[in-house]
Structures are given as structure tokens and as C-alpha cells.
Structure 1
């Protein structure tokens, strides 16, 4: 039978999120039904709710950092059983036929991955759902191939943001071969940035945090950063020239990046992770002079996401979170716009009002 689901949803770009009820599809043979216990609040949720990209379809239930417990499995499911601790990240399906999908990088699916919320949802038509609905809800049904196992040593609440923030930073660190001897700079110590610091440090890199002020310096050092650099300090920036192999840029707001390119060593790369909606000038000379690159990275595939969860468990890494009741989501959005969170809001879904 379809699963009655309670949630918080956005109904328009200029209205607060509000309680919302709908039905999830009846689990099919390949599906896993999950009771959601915790849902992380990602900055991209805010972009979608506010329709910053111009393609939001309402009503929409955000949330793609999901941690919960399996309540039922379909007849063909072999990877999970009732009672398992599981997670769901930014995607719930892909074409499975294109080259990226076959390579285990479903996030780069050529026709486009099916995102956890806001994508066309042919499987939901039977219960009146035309788009996928996300994790600010108390239940979800997902194909087993897009469900992750959360190791027992990771607290479920602090593990939830790993399904987006954790993999978004882990994937470029792995892609650019970060390890002992690597010199990594992280721009912005927020939800993504604090995960980049912890993971890069655990991989053996020498980590520097670049920020606009020193108010998070103690936090950065606690997380594993060896150095802290104020990017408005011209002398310090000049002294750090050509130092870094990799810069992980996590800032979502429009900001100056051209000056940061001089911090890269020869063949160094700045990877953009923040979902900014405006262009940022980059000049040719700093790139040409040291064969530097500006690149982008999305999340990771299912295989790499499971690898990330296992890595975090082995290295005692989890997100620093502020756990809140779902009815405080609009307050959380207001604070997130002011960067007033250390370092990720997580919704305690069991406090979702009846």
C-alpha cells in the first residue's frame, strides 16, 4: 500500500515552508522503504526553495541528506533488510546505460540523474506525484541501488549531512589524489568547508583554511587545519603565493576568485563546489603562467559515496551539527543566509508534528 507521509514543503518562492502531507509509492520488488530519522539542511535546498535557478516546481519537499532505518524491502532486494541503518543522498536513480553510469559515476548521468527532490518522477504517478520529494519528511521509498549503508560507528544525526556535504568534498579530494605531502587550501569554513578540512587532514594533507575573518580559527585547528589565512590580508596572501596543490572553494555566494589563483602551485587546481548563481571573473595570465586550472565537481557516485562513509567511520569523522525540530526550518533558512550555523542544521524528523 502507498505510504502516508508527513513533511515540510515549499509552495512558493516567497512563502515559508509549511507542513505538507502526501503519499509515497508502494515499495516495488527492487525498493527499500525507509523511516527517515534525520535530514540535513543543505544550502542548495535554500536555492531551490527560493527558485534561484528559475526551474523549481511547487509544492516541493527539499532534503537530500537522509539518514534512517529500513522498514521494508522488496522481493528482489539483497543488500538491505529491515532494521538496517541507511542513507540516501542527492540522487535516487539514473539511466544506468550511459558511460558515466556504467563507470559508477551516476551523478554525471548523460540524460540526467533523478535527483532526490524536484526531478520528474514516473514511479510516483500511481500516487499522484509528478516530481520526486525529498527528506524533510518521515518516510521515503528508494531503489536499492541508490541506498547507502551507514556504518554503526557513525551517529545517524551527524551522518546525515555526509550524504551531500561529505561526498561533495570527498570526491574532489580523491579525484585530485590528495594524500600525505599534499598542500590543500579550503575557502570557506561552512557546511562543506569543515568536511573538506576534516577529510583532507585525515588523508595526510597539510590543510590551510582561507576565510574573511579569524572567528573560526580555533574550530579550523580543532578539525585538523595547520594554518589559517585571512584572504583580505594582502601580505599573508602574497606570502602564500604558489603554495597549494589544490584549493577547495566551498563558497556559495558570489565572491572574488581571480586573486586566489596565484596561491596555486604549477599544475594546481581550484575546484568550485559552491552553487553560485552569478559569474565570477577569471583572468588568463595567472592560469597560463603556471598551467593552473579552475574546475568543478558535483557529488560522487554511489560506490564512491559508500567509500566516503566507510572512510569517515574509520577516521572518526562526522559533521558538526545543530539538531533542530522540523518546525524551525524557516528560522534555519534565515540563519543559513547569514552563515549563522556551525556547521550544518539537521532536522530531527521524529519531532515532526502529527
Structure 2
């Protein structure tokens, strides 16, 4: 086994605190990565607090992982020690089902293996995430970080980035399209950046008038206050696509009314029932669609990273020390971050010295 050190929570609602644990020994197709940075995703908080009801403890969160290769297995040929790499939301899949064959491992019909709070499909050991000093991952699920990319700012691309890039690419968003993004947070600001880079005219739907200046700085053409009925009615039949990043149940019907005929409302934030229900009339009368999307496959995630390097796209971040993680959780829940926290894992050494 491989001794490791990180931060974990031991039960729902418990604070994150230092924890020593063991990872598996290196397999022939594994890559051991020394973690330099790890993004803080809102889903880390949901899992740590068991908001979704399926968390297992002790739990080491973190699925926006970047670092450098420290060791490779005997069968690994695509990476060498020192390479800049990343790991996202999954670390394995069956590699045999139709979805895996199509490069859509996130939809693996036998269940992808999540980066943390899951079971390794070969030996059944618990998977632990990136709030730690190192991680050992099957080489097929390691991503190459472009040389020009800043590792800290790139970390959230491995979740927030691919979660918004994948549905926009799948839908074919590009020049001549009008795209609206609902919500300006970790996902929303990346959706805006990708939409602009793909050539669409981008509008932000927000409940906060204070968001207008920062949205325009990101490249949006228009800002619509979703609580203003007159503004919403004026936008009726406007958009080809809506990218909805809001992570809690909310009324989709007013937004769907702003879609053109054959328009598509894409959900990437809500995990759970839609409440209130979507009106069938609203869909039928304009042949409109409501679809969902989950991250992206490994090949598409690599494509996204290369696209970001080519277009100078990165996540707007605030770097923190690992000892500040509990405060960062609370601030994230309050929306007090622009737009993602990223942990500098060099700060782990400070917690060891203090122990």
C-alpha cells in the first residue's frame, strides 16, 4: 500500500481535518501523481455533508486535480515522470459497453468509477480524491495539461470546465446562435467564456442586478433580470440554447418561454426532481427540448483543455491553503467566491508540521 496524507471528513456535517490513509500500490497501467492543486467543487460540499444521501466515510473529496507525474506503471507509455497532468471526476469505467466504446465513459452502462467516495472496480477499495498529497489513477483516465496552461487556474476546468463545454459542443453552439446562461457562478462563468469563444451571442439570466458588470466583463452581450417579468416577456422566443447552471430546483417554464422554436434548455446543475413541473404546452407549441448533460468523456475533456490553451481560457479562482477548507465550504455555499476556490497543496506540509 502507498501511505498518503490529506484532509477528510469522518461523518456528515463533520469538519474537514487532516487524515493519514493508504492508497493502492501502483499497478502496471497506473500513474502516480503528486498533486499541486485541487479545485473546490460545490459537489464536494454536498458529498461531505451527505446532502444527496449516498456519501461514505471517511471521505476525501476533490475531483479537480492537477499535478505532476511522480511514477508510472510498467505498461504505461503515454506519460513520463515530470509531466503536467490532471484527473477529473472519474478514474475508471468498464471500457466495454457502447458508451465507453464511443468515448463517453461518463455514461458507462456499468457505472463509471468516481474519483472519490466510490469503489475501485478491480479490488473494491474506496476511492479517495484530491484533497491530498498524491493520487494513483489508471493511465486511460489521466489528462495531459497543455504546457501553456496555469495549473492552479486549470484545476476547475476538470469539472466546471468540461461540465459546460461538453453540452455546448454536443448541441453545436457556434456562430449565429443566441445562447443564454442561467446563473453566474463556477459553472456559469465558464459557460459564458466557452459560449463567447465558440462564437455565440451570449446573454446572462440572473436574479442579481449587481452581476451585470462582471457578466459584461466576461463577454456577454445582454443581461436579463429573471425576476423582472417585463424583461422576461420581452425575451420571449429569443434564444437557440439555454445553459442552466443553477444547482437547486427552480422554475424552468419562464426560461423555456424565451427559447425559439426548436430551442433547447440544457440542465447541468440540478440533481433531483424538477420543481415545479415543466409545462408540456410550453414544449409542444415550439417543439422545444429540455435535456441534461454530465461532464464529458476523457477524449472530450482533453479536447476542452486544448481548446482552453488555444483560446486563453481559464477559470477565475481564489487560491487557498488546505487549512482554510472549512471556511471555503461555508463561503461557497453563501456564493462568496469569484468563481472557484483552488487549494494549493503545498500547504499540506504546514498542517503536518502543526500536528
What is the TM-score when the length of structure 2 is the normalising length? 0.96
**Counterpart of 1:55?**
54
Does the Cα contact within 8 Å between 2:153 and 2:314 map onto a contact in 1? yes
Structure 1 equivalent of residue 315 of structure 2: 319
Q: Is 2:35 the partner of 1:40?
A: no
Equivalent residue number for residue 300 of structure 1: 296
Q: Is the 8 A contact 1:31 1:141 kept in 2?
A: yes
Residue 328 (structure 1) aligns with: 324
- Report the CA distance between 1:278 and its aligned residue: 4.5
Matched, 1:339 2:335: yes
Q: Is the 8 A contact 1:63 1:134 kept in 2?
A: yes
1:217 corresponds, among 212, 217, 221, to 212
Superposition deviation, residue 174 in structure 1: 0.4
Runs of 4+ residues over 4 Å off in structure 1: 122-125
Matches of 2:55 and 2:183, distance apart in 1: 27
SS of residue matched to 2:285: helix
Shift of 1:124: 5.8
CA deviations 1:15-49 (Å, max 9, x no partner) are 11111111121211111100000000111111111
- 3-state SS of 2:324 partner: helix
Q: Distance in 2 between matches of 1:151 and 1:315?
A: 12
State the Cα deviation string for residues 159-203 of structure 1 (Å, max 9, x = none). Answer: 000000000000000010011111100000100000000011000
What is the aligned partner in structure 2 of residue 266 from structure 1?
A: 261
Q: Check the 8 A contact 2:249/2:270 in 1, yes or no.
A: no
Q: Partners in 2 of 1:285 and 1:237 — Cα distance?
A: 18
Q: Write the distance in 1 (CA, Å) between the matches of 2:151 and 2:3.
A: 23
Distance 1:172 1:111 in 2: 22
Name the residue aligned to 2:5: 6
What is the number of equivalent residue pairs in this alignment? 349
Q: CA RMSD in A?
A: 1.1
Q: Could you say what secondary structure the match of 1:253 adopts?
A: coil
Select the residue among 191, 194, 203 that pairs with 2:198.
Answer: 203
Q: Which residue of 2 aligns with 1:94?
A: 93
Aligned ranges 1:1-354 → 2 under 5 Å? 2-123=1-122, 130-280=125-275, 281-352=277-348, 353-354=351-352
Q: Structure 2: which 5+ runs fail to align?
A: none
Is the contact between residue 124 and residue 131 of structure 1 (CA under 8 Å) also seen in structure 2?
no
Inter-partner Cα distance in structure 2 for 1:258 and 1:119: 35
How far apart, CA to CA, are the structure 1 residues paired with 2:151 and 2:56? 30
Quick one: distance in 2 between partners of 1:213 and 1:140?
Answer: 39
Residue 73 to residue 34, structure 1, CA distance change in 2 (3 Å): same
